[in-house]
Protein backbone atom coordinates (compact mmCIF):
# COMPACT_ATOMS: atom_id res chain seq x y z
CA UNK A 1 0.00 0.00 0.00
CA UNK A 2 2.81 2.43 0.91
CA UNK A 3 4.57 1.77 -2.39
CA UNK A 4 1.32 2.41 -4.23
CA UNK A 5 0.78 5.75 -2.44
CA UNK A 6 4.37 6.91 -3.04
CA UNK A 7 4.02 6.08 -6.73
CA UNK A 8 0.88 8.19 -6.97
CA UNK A 9 2.52 11.12 -5.13
CA UNK A 10 5.51 11.08 -7.49
CA UNK A 11 3.13 11.14 -10.45
CA UNK A 12 1.45 14.26 -9.04
CA UNK A 13 4.65 16.33 -8.78
CA UNK A 14 4.99 17.23 -12.50
CA UNK A 15 1.26 17.95 -12.62
CA UNK A 16 1.65 20.38 -9.71
CA UNK A 17 4.55 22.14 -11.48
CA UNK A 18 2.51 22.61 -14.67
CA UNK A 19 -0.49 23.88 -12.69
CA UNK A 20 1.71 26.37 -10.82
CA UNK A 21 3.00 27.73 -14.15
CA UNK A 22 -0.55 28.16 -15.45
CA UNK A 23 -1.66 29.88 -12.23
CA UNK A 24 1.30 32.26 -12.29
CA UNK A 25 0.73 33.14 -15.95
CA UNK A 26 -3.01 33.66 -15.35
CA UNK A 27 -2.44 35.99 -12.40
CA UNK A 28 0.16 37.97 -14.32
CA UNK A 29 -2.29 38.38 -17.20
CA UNK A 30 -4.92 39.96 -14.94
CA UNK A 31 -5.77 43.56 -15.94
CA UNK A 32 -4.29 46.37 -13.89
CA UNK A 33 -0.92 47.18 -12.37
CA UNK A 34 -0.04 45.13 -9.25
CA UNK A 35 2.00 48.06 -7.96
CA UNK A 36 -1.20 50.09 -7.58
CA UNK A 37 -2.53 47.44 -5.20
CA UNK A 38 0.44 47.95 -2.91
CA UNK A 39 0.27 51.75 -3.11
CA UNK A 40 -3.49 52.08 -2.69
CA UNK A 41 -5.79 54.53 -4.42
CA UNK A 42 -5.29 57.32 -1.89
CA UNK A 43 -1.50 57.37 -1.91
CA UNK A 44 0.19 60.06 -4.02
CA UNK A 45 3.56 58.94 -5.39
CA UNK A 46 5.86 60.05 -8.15
CA UNK A 47 6.75 57.90 -11.13
CA UNK A 48 10.25 57.41 -9.71
CA UNK A 49 8.82 56.07 -6.45
CA UNK A 50 6.50 53.80 -8.39
CA UNK A 51 9.39 52.36 -10.40
CA UNK A 52 11.46 51.94 -7.25
CA UNK A 53 8.68 49.92 -5.64
CA UNK A 54 8.30 47.87 -8.82
CA UNK A 55 12.02 47.06 -8.63
CA UNK A 56 11.83 46.17 -4.92
CA UNK A 57 8.92 43.81 -5.56
CA UNK A 58 10.70 42.24 -8.54
CA UNK A 59 7.98 43.13 -11.06
CA UNK A 60 10.60 44.56 -13.44
CA UNK A 61 12.28 41.16 -13.83
CA UNK A 62 11.62 38.82 -16.80
CA UNK A 63 8.63 36.52 -16.38
CA UNK A 64 10.67 33.28 -15.94
CA UNK A 65 12.74 34.92 -13.20
CA UNK A 66 9.58 36.10 -11.41
CA UNK A 67 8.10 32.60 -11.62
CA UNK A 68 11.21 30.92 -10.17
CA UNK A 69 11.27 33.39 -7.27
CA UNK A 70 7.55 32.95 -6.65
CA UNK A 71 7.69 29.14 -6.85
CA UNK A 72 10.72 29.08 -4.55
CA UNK A 73 8.86 31.07 -1.91
CA UNK A 74 5.82 28.81 -2.29
CA UNK A 75 7.92 25.70 -1.67
CA UNK A 76 9.38 27.19 1.51
CA UNK A 77 5.94 28.22 2.76
CA UNK A 78 6.43 31.95 2.14
CA UNK A 79 3.19 32.98 0.42
CA UNK A 80 4.06 36.67 0.44
CA UNK A 81 2.12 39.60 1.83
CA UNK A 82 -1.38 40.64 0.91
CA UNK A 83 -1.24 43.98 -0.90
CA UNK A 84 -4.73 44.93 0.24
CA UNK A 85 -4.80 43.63 3.82
CA UNK A 86 -1.10 44.31 4.57
CA UNK A 87 -0.84 40.95 6.33
CA UNK A 88 1.06 37.74 5.52
CA UNK A 89 -1.00 35.67 3.07
CA UNK A 90 -0.49 32.54 5.18
CA UNK A 91 -2.17 34.26 8.14
CA UNK A 92 -5.03 35.54 5.98
CA UNK A 93 -5.71 32.06 4.60
CA UNK A 94 -5.37 30.56 8.07
CA UNK A 95 -8.01 32.97 9.40
CA UNK A 96 -10.59 32.06 6.76
CA UNK A 97 -9.81 28.52 5.57
CA UNK A 98 -11.54 26.82 8.50
CA UNK A 99 -14.76 28.74 7.83
CA UNK A 100 -14.80 27.42 4.26
CA UNK A 101 -13.75 23.96 5.42
CA UNK A 102 -16.57 23.85 7.98
CA UNK A 103 -19.20 24.98 5.47
CA UNK A 104 -18.13 22.53 2.77
CA UNK A 105 -17.66 19.49 5.01
CA UNK A 106 -21.01 19.94 6.76
CA UNK A 107 -22.83 20.35 3.42
CA UNK A 108 -21.05 17.28 2.01
CA UNK A 109 -21.98 15.15 5.02
CA UNK A 110 -25.61 16.30 4.84
CA UNK A 111 -25.75 15.56 1.11
CA UNK A 112 -24.29 12.06 1.52
CA UNK A 113 -26.58 11.20 4.42
CA UNK A 114 -29.57 11.76 2.15
CA UNK A 115 -28.11 10.84 -1.27
CA UNK A 116 -26.81 7.34 -0.47
CA UNK A 117 -29.96 5.76 1.04
CA UNK A 118 -32.26 7.53 -1.42
CA UNK A 119 -30.08 6.55 -4.39
CA UNK A 120 -30.02 2.91 -3.25
CA UNK A 121 -33.79 2.83 -2.77
CA UNK A 122 -34.28 4.40 -6.21
CA UNK A 123 -32.24 1.61 -7.77
CA UNK A 124 -34.13 -1.10 -5.90
CA UNK A 125 -37.49 0.46 -6.85
CA UNK A 126 -36.54 1.49 -10.36
CA UNK A 127 -39.46 2.92 -12.32
CA UNK A 128 -41.68 3.43 -9.27
CA UNK A 129 -43.26 6.71 -8.17
CA UNK A 130 -40.51 7.03 -5.53
CA UNK A 131 -37.82 6.71 -8.19
CA UNK A 132 -39.53 9.14 -10.56
CA UNK A 133 -40.02 11.79 -7.87
CA UNK A 134 -36.39 11.80 -6.74
CA UNK A 135 -35.14 11.65 -10.33
CA UNK A 136 -37.02 14.86 -11.13
CA UNK A 137 -35.82 16.37 -7.85
CA UNK A 138 -32.19 15.48 -8.68
CA UNK A 139 -32.43 16.88 -12.19
CA UNK A 140 -33.81 20.09 -10.70
CA UNK A 141 -30.86 20.28 -8.31
CA UNK A 142 -28.37 19.76 -11.14
CA UNK A 143 -30.06 22.28 -13.44
CA UNK A 144 -30.66 25.20 -11.06
CA UNK A 145 -27.55 27.41 -10.61
CA UNK A 146 -26.31 27.58 -7.03
CA UNK A 147 -26.40 31.36 -6.81
CA UNK A 148 -29.97 31.49 -8.18
CA UNK A 149 -31.23 28.99 -5.63
CA UNK A 150 -29.43 30.97 -2.91
CA UNK A 151 -31.12 34.22 -3.96
CA UNK A 152 -34.56 32.56 -4.13
CA UNK A 153 -34.02 31.04 -0.68
CA UNK A 154 -32.93 34.39 0.73
CA UNK A 155 -36.03 36.09 -0.69
CA UNK A 156 -38.56 33.58 0.65
CA UNK A 157 -36.92 33.11 4.04
CA UNK A 158 -36.47 36.86 4.48
CA UNK A 159 -40.11 37.54 3.59
CA UNK A 160 -41.69 34.79 5.67
CA UNK A 161 -39.41 34.17 8.68
CA UNK A 162 -38.51 37.38 10.51
CA UNK A 163 -35.27 37.58 12.51
CA UNK A 164 -33.85 34.54 10.70
CA UNK A 165 -30.10 35.03 9.97
CA UNK A 166 -29.70 35.54 6.22
CA UNK A 167 -25.98 36.26 5.95
CA UNK A 168 -22.72 36.22 7.84
CA UNK A 169 -21.38 33.54 10.16
CA UNK A 170 -22.14 35.10 13.55
CA UNK A 171 -24.48 37.66 15.04
CA UNK A 172 -22.55 40.98 14.89
CA UNK A 173 -23.72 42.18 18.31
CA UNK A 174 -22.98 38.88 20.04
CA UNK A 175 -19.63 38.60 18.31
CA UNK A 176 -18.67 42.14 19.37
CA UNK A 177 -19.75 41.91 23.03
CA UNK A 178 -19.06 38.22 23.54
CA UNK A 179 -21.18 35.09 23.85
CA UNK A 180 -22.47 33.98 27.26
CA UNK A 181 -21.13 30.47 26.63
CA UNK A 182 -19.38 28.30 24.06
CA UNK A 183 -22.63 26.47 23.40
CA UNK A 184 -24.32 29.79 22.55
CA UNK A 185 -21.58 30.57 20.01
CA UNK A 186 -21.86 27.10 18.42
CA UNK A 187 -25.64 27.42 18.25
CA UNK A 188 -25.35 30.86 16.62
CA UNK A 189 -22.89 29.59 14.00
CA UNK A 190 -25.11 26.57 13.31
CA UNK A 191 -28.13 28.84 12.84
CA UNK A 192 -26.24 31.09 10.41
CA UNK A 193 -25.07 27.97 8.54
CA UNK A 194 -28.55 26.68 7.70
CA UNK A 195 -29.05 28.59 4.45
CA UNK A 196 -25.56 28.16 2.87
CA UNK A 197 -25.41 24.50 3.92
CA UNK A 198 -28.87 23.91 2.44
CA UNK A 199 -27.87 25.43 -0.90
CA UNK A 200 -24.57 23.52 -1.15
CA UNK A 201 -26.09 20.24 0.06
CA UNK A 202 -28.98 20.56 -2.41
CA UNK A 203 -26.71 20.67 -5.47
CA UNK A 204 -24.38 18.00 -4.03
CA UNK A 205 -27.28 15.70 -3.18
CA UNK A 206 -28.58 15.89 -6.74
CA UNK A 207 -25.25 14.74 -8.18
CA UNK A 208 -24.50 12.03 -5.61
CA UNK A 209 -27.97 10.50 -5.68
CA UNK A 210 -27.84 10.18 -9.46
CA UNK A 211 -24.44 8.48 -9.30
CA UNK A 212 -25.52 6.09 -6.55
CA UNK A 213 -28.74 5.20 -8.39
CA UNK A 214 -27.10 4.53 -11.75
CA UNK A 215 -24.20 2.62 -10.25
CA UNK A 216 -26.49 0.46 -8.11
CA UNK A 217 -28.77 -0.33 -11.07
CA UNK A 218 -25.76 -1.55 -13.03
CA UNK A 219 -24.46 -3.70 -10.15
CA UNK A 220 -27.87 -5.16 -9.20
CA UNK A 221 -28.25 -6.63 -12.69
CA UNK A 222 -24.94 -8.52 -12.51
CA UNK A 223 -24.78 -12.32 -12.30
CA UNK A 224 -23.18 -12.55 -8.85
CA UNK A 225 -26.10 -10.58 -7.35
CA UNK A 226 -28.55 -13.05 -8.87
CA UNK A 227 -26.42 -15.89 -7.48
CA UNK A 228 -26.45 -14.34 -3.99
CA UNK A 229 -30.23 -14.01 -4.13
CA UNK A 230 -30.65 -17.60 -5.36
CA UNK A 231 -28.68 -18.82 -2.33
CA UNK A 232 -31.35 -17.36 -0.09
CA UNK A 233 -29.44 -14.39 1.30
CA UNK A 234 -31.49 -11.62 2.83
CA UNK A 235 -32.20 -8.72 0.48
CA UNK A 236 -30.54 -6.20 2.80
CA UNK A 237 -27.35 -8.29 2.86
CA UNK A 238 -27.35 -8.58 -0.94
CA UNK A 239 -27.94 -4.86 -1.45
CA UNK A 240 -25.78 -3.26 1.24
CA UNK A 241 -22.96 -5.80 1.63
CA UNK A 242 -22.45 -7.10 -1.90
CA UNK A 243 -24.01 -4.63 -4.34
CA UNK A 244 -23.27 -1.33 -2.62
CA UNK A 245 -19.56 -2.06 -2.10
CA UNK A 246 -19.03 -2.53 -5.83
CA UNK A 247 -21.23 0.46 -6.58
CA UNK A 248 -18.92 2.58 -4.40
CA UNK A 249 -16.14 2.62 -7.02
CA UNK A 250 -17.58 5.41 -9.25
CA UNK A 251 -18.79 7.23 -6.13
CA UNK A 252 -15.24 7.25 -4.77
CA UNK A 253 -14.05 8.96 -7.96
CA UNK A 254 -16.76 11.58 -7.62
CA UNK A 255 -15.93 12.20 -3.96
CA UNK A 256 -12.26 12.68 -4.80
CA UNK A 257 -13.04 15.17 -7.54
CA UNK A 258 -15.66 16.89 -5.40
CA UNK A 259 -13.17 18.26 -2.86
CA UNK A 260 -11.95 21.13 -5.08
CA UNK A 261 -15.41 21.50 -6.63
CA UNK A 262 -16.88 22.29 -3.24
CA UNK A 263 -14.21 24.94 -2.71
CA UNK A 264 -14.73 26.59 -6.08
CA UNK A 265 -18.49 26.35 -5.74
CA UNK A 266 -18.29 28.18 -2.41
CA UNK A 267 -16.66 31.20 -4.08
CA UNK A 268 -19.97 32.60 -5.37
CA UNK A 269 -22.02 31.23 -2.49
CA UNK A 270 -19.85 32.89 0.14
CA UNK A 271 -20.26 36.21 -1.62
CA UNK A 272 -24.05 35.82 -1.71
CA UNK A 273 -24.31 34.93 1.99
CA UNK A 274 -21.37 37.18 3.02
CA UNK A 275 -19.75 34.12 4.58
CA UNK A 276 -16.21 34.93 5.82
CA UNK A 277 -14.41 32.20 3.90
CA UNK A 278 -11.76 31.78 1.24
CA UNK A 279 -14.27 32.20 -1.56
CA UNK A 280 -15.19 35.73 -0.55
CA UNK A 281 -11.55 36.59 0.12
CA UNK A 282 -10.62 35.36 -3.37
CA UNK A 283 -13.27 37.57 -5.01
CA UNK A 284 -12.08 40.59 -3.03
CA UNK A 285 -8.45 39.83 -3.90
CA UNK A 286 -9.22 39.58 -7.63
CA UNK A 287 -11.04 42.91 -7.57
CA UNK A 288 -8.12 44.52 -5.72
CA UNK A 289 -5.45 42.91 -7.99
CA UNK A 290 -3.87 41.32 -4.91
CA UNK A 291 -1.55 38.93 -6.78
CA UNK A 292 -0.07 37.17 -3.76
CA UNK A 293 -3.45 36.36 -2.23
CA UNK A 294 -5.00 35.30 -5.55
CA UNK A 295 -2.05 33.01 -6.35
CA UNK A 296 -2.15 31.42 -2.90
CA UNK A 297 -5.91 30.77 -3.09
CA UNK A 298 -5.62 29.23 -6.56
CA UNK A 299 -2.68 27.05 -5.50
CA UNK A 300 -4.68 25.94 -2.48
CA UNK A 301 -7.52 24.92 -4.79
CA UNK A 302 -5.06 23.09 -7.06
CA UNK A 303 -3.60 21.22 -4.09
CA UNK A 304 -7.12 20.19 -3.10
CA UNK A 305 -7.65 18.86 -6.62
CA UNK A 306 -4.47 16.77 -6.46
CA UNK A 307 -5.28 15.64 -2.93
CA UNK A 308 -8.71 14.57 -4.12
CA UNK A 309 -7.15 12.48 -6.89
CA UNK A 310 -4.74 10.90 -4.41
CA UNK A 311 -7.51 10.07 -1.94
CA UNK A 312 -9.61 8.63 -4.76
CA UNK A 313 -6.72 6.33 -5.73
CA UNK A 314 -6.26 5.23 -2.11
CA UNK A 315 -9.97 4.54 -1.66
CA UNK A 316 -9.96 2.64 -4.94
CA UNK A 317 -7.35 0.29 -3.52
CA UNK A 318 -9.59 -0.30 -0.49
CA UNK A 319 -12.80 -1.08 -2.36
CA UNK A 320 -11.37 -2.73 -5.49
CA UNK A 321 -9.14 -5.79 -4.81
CA UNK A 322 -7.75 -5.71 -8.36
CA UNK A 323 -5.87 -2.47 -7.64
CA UNK A 324 -4.15 -4.06 -4.63
CA UNK A 325 -2.66 -6.71 -6.91
CA UNK A 326 -1.68 -4.23 -9.62
CA UNK A 327 -0.32 -1.64 -7.17
Residue 311 lies in a domain: yes
Give the burial class of 155: count Cβ atoms within 10 A of its Cβ; 0-12 exposed, 13-18 middle, 19 or more buried: exposed
Residue 55 lies in a domain: no
User: Taking the mean position of all CA atoms in its chain, how far away is CA 130?
Assistant: 30
Least confident of 46-50, 142-146, 319-323: 319-323
Residue 322 lies in a domain: yes
Please tell me the pTM assigned to this model: 0.77
What are 136-169's pLDDT values in tens digits?
Answer: 999 888 888 888 888 899 888 888 888 888 888 8
Q: Which residues contact 99 (CB under 8 A, 6 or more apart)?
A: 169, 275, 276, 277, 278
The CATH number given to whatever domain includes residue 213 is 1.10.3720.10
Q: pLDDT band at 43, cuts 50/70/90?
A: low
Residue 40 lies in a domain: no
d(CA 274, CA 281): 10
Residue 81 lies in a domain: no
What are 214-256's pLDDT values in tens digits?
Answer: 888 888 888 888 887 788 888 788 887 778 877 777 777 777 7
What are 244-293's pLDDT values in tens digits?
Answer: 877 777 777 777 777 666 665 577 788 888 888 888 888 888 888 888 88
Report the chain's mean pLDDT, rounded to a whole number.
Answer: 82
Contact indicator for 106, 197 with CB cutoff of 8 Å: yes
Contact indicator for 88, 77 with CB cutoff of 8 Å: no
Residue 123 lies in a domain: yes
CB atoms within 10 A of CB 96: 20
Q: Is the pLDDT of residue 8 over 90?
A: no
Residue 289 lies in a domain: yes
Residue 288 lies in a domain: yes
Q: How many domains does the chain have?
A: 1
What are 84-127's pLDDT values in tens digits?
Answer: 778 888 888 888 888 888 888 899 899 999 999 999 889 888 88
Exposure string over 182-219, b if 16+ CB within 10 A, otherwise e? eeebeebbeebbebbbebbbbbbbbbbbbbbbebbbeb
Containing domain of residue 267, as a range? 97-326
Average pLDDT, stretch 12-21? Answer: 89
Amino acid sequence: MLKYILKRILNLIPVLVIISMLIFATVQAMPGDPVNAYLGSSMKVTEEQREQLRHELGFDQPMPVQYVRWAGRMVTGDLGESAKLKEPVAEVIGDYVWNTFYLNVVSLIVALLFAIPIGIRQAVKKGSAFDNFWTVFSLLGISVPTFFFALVLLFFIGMNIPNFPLNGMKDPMMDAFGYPSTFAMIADIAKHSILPVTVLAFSSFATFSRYVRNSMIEVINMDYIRTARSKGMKEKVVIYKHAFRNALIPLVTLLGMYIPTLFSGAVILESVFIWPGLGKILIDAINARDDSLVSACLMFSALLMLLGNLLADIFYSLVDPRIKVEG
